[in-house]
Amino acid sequence: MKNSWKYSLCLASVLGTAFSVQAADLEIEELTTELTNPWGMVFLPDGKLVITERPGNIRLYDEKAGLSAPLKNVPEVVASGQGGMLGITADPNFAENNKIYFCYSKPGDGGSSTGVSSAVLKGDALTDVKDIFTQYPLVDNGFHFGCRLTFDADGHLFVSLGERYAHMKEAQNLDNHLGKVVRIWPDGSVPEDNPFTDGKAPEVYSYGHRNVQGLTIHPQTGAVWEMEHGPKGGDEINLLGKGNNYGWPVITYGIDYSGSIISDKTEMEGMEQPVLYWDPSIAPSGMAFYHGDKFPEWEGDLLVGSLKFTHLRHVEMDNGKPGEQTEYFRDRKERIRDVVVSPEGYVYMLTDSPDGKLLKVSPAK
């Protein structure tokens, strides 16, 4: 059963480039409350949502039929710590081939890695499941897997990969996939114009990342944007560029959880600065540029979920530069794991909880 609330609130944000107090008239519906730690979602052309649950399931949601049972033939995952079934996206030609792509923590000999598989969605099951990418090397811990997926206009599949925490320095090592964003074709092959095709990890597109929890394409420019968790402080939003080094852990705006200094540098020649960073951290997860007619004043702005401070964050964007920020729904005290904009312009969110929810945000009637 759907539950609906109307909000007419004055909401303030003090963590942006400018202070914002803004009245908002929003309506939020609980479309389902029967998800277990949902992590990622994607809309299909027919309006259905495909949703991942971190413990290892993939499910469908239809506004008429509701939430499906877990799909059959889903690969085994290592559902430990931050690992499990993670990001998901649909093939740009889904209407013709019914293909989806998903990230998961993949078991291996001596540890686990972040794997990416393709599959054909057929009824209540996955068919033709194929591994198309496996992060190298395997690591024996349950931290910082990443992993979000997105396609650009040229059909490249971008995959965000964490540095697995205990191996943070490897984010600067171009011989592996730790702390990288990789770019591949849908079959897993390497584009010829990738920046490091002569190395041991030719899939790498950019490096020096920590734990990327947001990855999206700008609807007007087609540029790839990513968002990553910092340590204690220093969460970042970055505009990705081919071959760019984003600095972790050589430069950072955060410190270690113990309070010790990771680096005393926040900038260095040859390393990119974030478009936006948060200190203190908000633990951001899921990001989408708004495009639609339901919230016309938000057009081109960035929407971000916050796990730590339990809110949806609206970041005003002006020609690629962040402006005022506003928090919504913090009073609900629900960790927001993913945010997407529907083809109709509504905002959908997933809450990270054993009793996870799918939420729909609309203008108040």
Amino acid residing at 363: P
The single residue listed with the structure tokens 């993670």 is 86
Binning pLDDT at 50, 70 and 90, where does residue 166 land? confident
Q: Is the pLDDT of residue 14 over 80?
A: no
- In this predicted structure, the answer to whether residue 214 has a pLDDT above a threshold of 50 is yes
What is the share, in percent, of the chain residues with pLDDT greater than 90? 91
Q: Is the pLDDT of residue 250 over 60?
A: yes
Residue 308 has pLDDT above 80, yes or no: yes
Catalytic residue among 144, 156, 167, 314: 144
Specify the pLDDT at position 365.
82
* DSSP state, residue 255: B
Residue 23 has pLDDT above 90, yes or no: no
Asked if residue 121 belongs to a domain, the reply is: yes
What SS3 class is residue 182?
strand
Residue 11 inside a domain? The answer is: no
**Residue 74 covered by a domain:** yes
Q: Per-residue pLDDT averaged across 272-282, rounded?
A: 97
Strand 49-53 to strand 38-43: parallel, antiparallel, or no bridges (unpaired)? antiparallel
291 in catalytic set:
no
Query: Is there a domain that residue 326 lies in?
Result: no
* Section 311-328 average pLDDT: 95
Assess if residue 4 is contained within a domain: no
169-186: per-residue pLDDT in tens?
999 999 999 999 999 999
Identify the pLDDT of residue 236: 97
List the one residue out of 240, 213, 208 whose CA is nearest residue 320.
240
Quote the pLDDT of residue 19. Answer: 32
Cis amide linkage into residue 137, ω under 30° from 0: yes
Spatial contact of 146 and 197, defined as CB atoms under 8 Å apart: no
Asked if residue 349 is part of any domain, the answer here is no
Q: Which of 18, 24, 11 is nearest to 321 (CA)?
A: 18
Range of the domain at 242: 34-311
Whichever domain contains 53, its CATH number is: 2.120.10.30
* Ramachandran assignment for 333, one of left (phi > 0), alpha (psi -120 to 50 degrees), beta (any other): left
* Residue 25 resides in a domain: no
Q: Report the alpha-carbon distance of residue 38 to residue 86 in Å, rounded.
A: 9
What is the mean pLDDT of the segment spanning 151-176? 96
| Domain total of the chain | 1
Domain assignment present for residue 324? The answer is no
